């Protein structure tokens, strides 16, 4: 399976992503696992840029670039049309950013989850409106610098995966392109489940997070190894499974490598560490629950 | 089969007979009976379409666009606030050249809240690139929905079929409901050349340069201009199949009329009665009911109005700071060909307030006696003093 996946690639070189982009790596992995019988919906986000300007195309699958808040409703429109056409093979994937998911697209996503639409919704979370020039979203972490939170965000990051879990959809999972096998496995899993699937993909962003572009693999790994972004699955809103046992490094190992957090005080760090510990313990409890 | 149907029911029958494959809908007064009727048929297993009960009109339009791009026929219905919420996606639909057919039941827009007939909701969408049909009765509602699919799929632009809150939407009339076989013979299956297809991958709706954008928009303008011909061709074909026909304009005694009343929707039905009465009294009055608003039937309007002495337009809508939209648009067309016919602009019936035969007679009376058309619309027929001031 591994070698088969590695041989496939559904994006052309010469795409429009920044050097060191974690998101485009995630897209590549998602498409590898999804395969060629896939229709994509893209909405304004970095992905909307990555797919290329007319007449160039980055994706080797058919893609519809829809309006900002419609990733889920557009994907649902396609999957319903495929049902009518009795096409059971084609997978429909929505590609949206964190702003398009946790903010402006939240209503249509919740609606699609409620109706249990047969789509895979991938939120590529680079934790701010990066495409428009690094403005804060509800997915921007506490204390992070952005152009609209110049002194650091004072509000916490919205926990989108738990919200999607609460919709009791068949499958919800977190993933990170720096754990490529885990990510591909989750997409392969999602492909075989009927109904709504939600994958929240942390997408390290050298441009917006202010770290050197060759550090993306390390940054993504550290987000997971510090439990800042744990990798897990939620089935039917109830069954939790941690899919990677982290090493539990201190959060400073992750945060202080990024200049968006360079203003953090010792007090901030302790507060964030406490929060991460608390969340991790709770997740372990849910994982252990039968 | 002849049935007693409300306009909403007639529109729902028209939609079902056109065999849409995906329907996405959201309830809103006074459109909800369309959604309910379709749901009833869905429950009985006779709808033949996939129903998406979405969480907003915005999502309804997004889903219709995406489904249409996947190569299936789509339908939705809305009104008022719902149409306003769709605004962004209306531009998107025509930009993507998807032949969606939507029924909009004209209803007043908040604030303040109101639920009755007012054309401002759909006329405010005039620049979104949708064909717009204003129907005057329930038979026309059913027939126009079927026609709209044929027209839209020819020119690859979406169509809006406009009913009026409670006047057409909820009043019952006898309606001839055609057999499915007849409609199938008239309207072939939707088979677009381009659609989202993994066997033939393509990227739809990319970022373009300035000049590419201009090219896309001008090609849509060309399609709109060509749509006039398509509407007439489909009218002709429709008559051959069903024996009924509709035109761009619905003209009544306008050829020798000294005053022609121009309006749209149900006011046009009331006006016919008034025209008959005034004609019987020897007054040379006529009527032009605008059925197709987008594309605007410029040549047909010029031809039907060039011999009259005065024109009175009744608008059940208003563009604040200007006047009624039909009046404004008509003036812009006449200005390029005929400048010497004064156009009297009346804004009446806002928010569903009644436009009675008496009101229409007063409109004709004011137009007869007033020499020059005022710059601002006449909105209060009872207030002779206000009318006099406008005249000065």
Per-10-residue mean pLDDT for chain A, 290 residues long?
Answer: 63 93 98 97 96 93 98 98 97 98 98 98 98 97 98 97 98 98 98 98 98 98 98 98 98 98 97 98 95
Task: For A8, list phi and psi in degrees, rounded to 5.
Answer: -95, 145
User: CA of A137 to nearest chain B CA: how many angstroms apart?
Assistant: 22
User: CA of B61 to nearest chain A CA: how many angstroms apart?
Assistant: 9
B65/A77 touch (CB, cutoff 8 Å), yes or no: yes
Contact B30/B157 with Cβ under 8 angstroms?
no
Say what the pLDDT of residue A1 is: 41
Omega of the bond leading into A55 within 30 degrees of 0 (cis): yes
Give the closest of A52, A70, A111 to B206, CB-based: A52
Say what the pLDDT of residue B383 is: 65
Total beta-carbon pairs less than 8 A apart between chain A and chain B: 143
Chain B residues within 8 A of A59 when measuring between CB atoms: 201, 203
Can you tell me the distance from the alpha carbon of A90 to that of A257, in angstroms, rounded to the nearest whole number?
41
Chain B residues within 8 A of A67 when measuring between CB atoms: 62, 88-89, 92
Chain A residues within 8 A of B88 when measuring between CB atoms: 67
Structural domains present in chain A: 2-288 (3.40.50.970)
Locate the DSSP E strands across chain B: 2-6, 22-25, 50-53, 74-78, 101-106, 131-134, 159-164, 172-176, 203-204, 249-252, 259-263, 285-290, 292-294, 310-315, 343-347
Can you tell me the distance from the alpha carbon of B265 to that of B163, in angstroms, rounded to the nearest whole number?
8
Q: What is the DSSP string of A63-126?
A: EEE--GGGHHHHHHHHHHHHHHTT--S-EEEEEEEHIIIIITTHHHHHHHHHTT-S-EEEEEE-
B198/A36 touch (CB, cutoff 8 Å), yes or no: yes
Instruction: Calculate Rg over the CA atoms of chain A.
Output: 18
Judged on CB neighbours under 10 Å (0-12, 13-18, 19+), A97 is buried
Say what the pLDDT of residue A8 is: 85
Give the closest of A49, A64, A84 to B72, CB-based: A84
Chain B residues within 8 A of A75 when measuring between CB atoms: 66
User: Residue B365: CB partners within 8 Å, gap ≥ 6?
Assistant: none
Number of neighbouring beta carbons within 10 Å of residue A179: 20
- Structure token digits, residue A219: 């940054």
pLDDT beneath 50: ranges in chain B: 389, 392
CA distances from B262 to B117, B164, B226, B287, B328 (A): 18, 17, 24, 6, 12
Minimal CA–CA distance to B324: which of B346, B339, B306?
Answer: B346
- Structure token digits, residue A89: 């093979």
User: Residue B317: CB partners within 8 Å, gap ≥ 6?
Assistant: B118, B119, B120, B123, B324, B325, B326, B347, B350
User: CA of A246 to nearest chain B CA: how many angstroms apart?
Assistant: 38
A108/B71 touch (CB, cutoff 8 Å), yes or no: no
Long-range CB pairs of B190-193 (<8 Å, 24+ gap) are B190/B21, B190/B71, B190/B72, B190/B73, B190/B99, B190/B149, B190/B153, B191/B71, B192/B68, B192/B71
| CA torsion, ordered B10, B13, B14, B16, to nearest 10 deg | 160
Chain A residues within 8 A of B69 when measuring between CB atoms: 64, 78
Which residues on adjacent β-strands are paired with residue A59?
A11
Say what the pLDDT of residue B380 is: 83
Whole-number average pLDDT of chain B: 96
- Structure token digits, residue A191: 């492909």
Mark out chain B residues that contact chain A at CB-CB < 8 A.
21-22, 24, 49-50, 52-56, 58-60, 62-72, 88-89, 92, 196-198, 200-209, 212
Minimal CA–CA distance to A166: which of A245, A240, A231?
Answer: A240
User: Residue B337: CB partners within 8 Å, gap ≥ 6?
Assistant: B302, B306
CA distances from A142 to A102, A151, A206 (A): 15, 11, 18
In the numeric block, the tokens 């306009």 are attached to: B7
Mutate to test the interface with B, among A16, A84, A87 (most CBs of B within 10 A): A84
- The DSSP call for residue A135 is B
Which residues on adjacent β-strands are paired with residue B207?
A53
User: Residue-wise over B69-97: b if at least 16 C-beta within 10 A, else e?
Assistant: bbbbbbbbbbbbbbbbbbeebbbbbbbbb
B50/A37 touch (CB, cutoff 8 Å), yes or no: no
Does the global pTM surpass 0.95? Answer: yes
In the numeric block, the tokens 């869905």 are attached to: B42
Minimal CA–CA distance to A94: which of A111, A116, A109, A115?
Answer: A109
User: CA of A213 to nearest chain B CA: how many angstroms apart?
Assistant: 26
Q: Where are the alpha helices (DSSP H) in B70-169?
A: 80-95, 120-123, 138-155
Say what the pLDDT of residue A3 is: 44
A108/B58 touch (CB, cutoff 8 Å), yes or no: yes
ipTM value of the model? 0.96
A115/B88 touch (CB, cutoff 8 Å), yes or no: no
Judged on CB neighbours under 10 Å (0-12, 13-18, 19+), A142 is middle
User: CA of B293 to nearest chain A CA: how many angstroms apart?
Assistant: 27
| CA torsion, ordered A77, A81, A83, A88, to nearest 10 deg | -100
Mark out chain A residues that contact chain B at CB-CB < 8 A.
36-39, 41, 48-49, 51-55, 57-67, 69-70, 72-78, 80-85, 90, 107-108, 110-111, 114-115
Number of neighbouring beta carbons within 10 Å of residue B299: 12
Say what the pLDDT of residue A6 is: 56
Can you tell me the distance from the alpha carbon of B170 to that of B149, in angstroms, rounded to the nearest whole number?
24
Judged on CB neighbours under 10 Å (0-12, 13-18, 19+), A274 is exposed
Can you tell me the distance from the alpha carbon of A75 to that of A38, in angstroms, rounded to the nearest whole number?
11
Structural domains present in chain B: 2-242 (3.40.50.970), 250-391 (3.40.50.920)
Task: For B182, list phi and psi in degrees, rounded to 5.
Answer: -65, -45
Chain A residues within 8 A of B197 when measuring between CB atoms: 62
User: CA of B207 to nearest chain A CA: how many angstroms apart?
Assistant: 5
User: Residue B30: CB partners within 8 Å, gap ≥ 6?
Assistant: B8, B79, B105, B107, B115, B165, B166, B169, B170
Give the closest of B56, B70, B205 to A78, CB-based: B70
Say what the pLDDT of residue B382 is: 78
């Amino acid at each position: 399976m591994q070698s088969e996946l590695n041989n496939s690639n559904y994006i052309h070189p010469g795409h429009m992503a920044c050097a060191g982009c974690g998101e485009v790596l995630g897209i590549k992995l998602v498409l590898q696992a999804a395969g060629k019988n896939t229709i994509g919906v893209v909405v304004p986000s970095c992905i909307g840029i990555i797919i290329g300007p007319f007449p160039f195309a980055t994706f080797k699958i058919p893609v519809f670039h829809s309006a900002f808040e419609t990733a889920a409703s557009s994907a649902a429109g396609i999957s319903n049309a495929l049902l009518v056409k009795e096409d059971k093979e084609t997978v429909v994937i929505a590609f949206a950013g964190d702003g398009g998911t946790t903010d402006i697209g939240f209503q249509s996503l919740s609606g699609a989850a409620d109706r249990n639409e047969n789509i895979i919704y991938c939120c590529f979370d680079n934790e701010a409106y990066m495409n428009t020039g690094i403005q804060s979203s509800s997915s921007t972490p506490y204390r992070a610098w952005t152009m609209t939170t110049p002194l650091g965000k004072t509000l916490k990051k919205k926990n989108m995966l738990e919200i999607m879990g609460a919709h009791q959809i068949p499958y919800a999972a977190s993933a990170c392109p720096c754990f490529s096998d885990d990510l591909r496995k989750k997409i392969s899993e999602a492909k075989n489940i009927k109904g709504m699937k939600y994958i929240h993909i942390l997408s390290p962003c050298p441009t917006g997070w202010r770290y050197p572009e060759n550090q993306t693999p390390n940054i993504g790994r550290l987000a997971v190894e510090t439990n800042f972004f744990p990798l897990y699955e939620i089935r039917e809103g109830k069954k939790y499974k941690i899919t990677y046992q982290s090493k539990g490094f201190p959060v400073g190992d992750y945060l202080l490598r990024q200049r968006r957090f360079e203003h953090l005080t010792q007090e901030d760090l302790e507060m964030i560490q406490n929060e991460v510990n608390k969340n991790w313990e709770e997740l372990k409890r849910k994982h252990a629950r039968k | 089969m002849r049935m007693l149907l409300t306009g909403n029911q007639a529109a729902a029958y028209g939609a079902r007979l056109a065999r849409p494959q995906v329907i996405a809908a959201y309830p809103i007064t006074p459109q909800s009976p369309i959604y309910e009727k379709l749901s009833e048929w869905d429950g009985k297993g006779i709808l033949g379409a996939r129903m998406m009960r979405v969480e907003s009109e915005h999502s309804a339009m997004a889903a219709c666009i995406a489904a249409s791009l996947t190569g299936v026929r789509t339908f939705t219905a809305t009104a008022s606030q719902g149409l306003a919420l769709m605004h962004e996606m209306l531009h998107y639909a025509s930009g993507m050249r998807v032949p969606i057919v939507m029924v909009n039941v004209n209803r007043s827009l908040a604030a303040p809240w109101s639920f009755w007939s007012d054309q401002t909701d759909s006329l405010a969408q005039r620049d979104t690139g949708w064909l717009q049909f204003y129907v005057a009765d329930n038979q026309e509602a059913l027939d126009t929905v079927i026609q709209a699919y044929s027209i839209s799929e020819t020119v690859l632009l979406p169509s809006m079929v406009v009913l009026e809150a409670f006047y057409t939407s909820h009043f019952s009339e006898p309606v001839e409901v055609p057999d499915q076989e007849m409609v199938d013979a008239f309207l072939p299956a939707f088979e677009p050349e381009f659609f989202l297809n993994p066997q033939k991958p393509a990227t739809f709706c990319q970022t373009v340069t300035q000049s590419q954008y201009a090219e896309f928009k001008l090609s849509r303008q060309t399609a709109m201009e060509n749509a006039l011909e398509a509407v007439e061709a489909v009218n002709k074909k429709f008559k051959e199949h069903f024996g009924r026909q509709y035109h761009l304009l619905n003209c009544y005694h306008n050829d020798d009329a000294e005053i022609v009343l121009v309006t749209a929707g149900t006011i046009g039905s009331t006006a016919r009665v008034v025209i008959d009465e005034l004609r019987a009294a020897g007054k040379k009055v006529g009527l032009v009911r605008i059925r197709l608003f987008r594309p605007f039937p410029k040549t047909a309007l010029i031809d039907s109005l060039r011999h009259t002495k005065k024109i009175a337009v009744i608008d059940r809508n208003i563009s604040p700071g200007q006047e009624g939209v039909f009046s404004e648009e008509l003036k812009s067309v006449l200005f390029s060909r005929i400048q010497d016919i004064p156009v009297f602009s009346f804004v009446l019936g806002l928010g569903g307030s009644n436009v009675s035969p008496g009101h229409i007679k007063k409109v004709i009376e004011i137009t007869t006696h007033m020499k020059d058309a005022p710059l601002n619309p006449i909105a209060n027929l009872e207030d002779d003093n206000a009318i006099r001031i406008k005249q000065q």
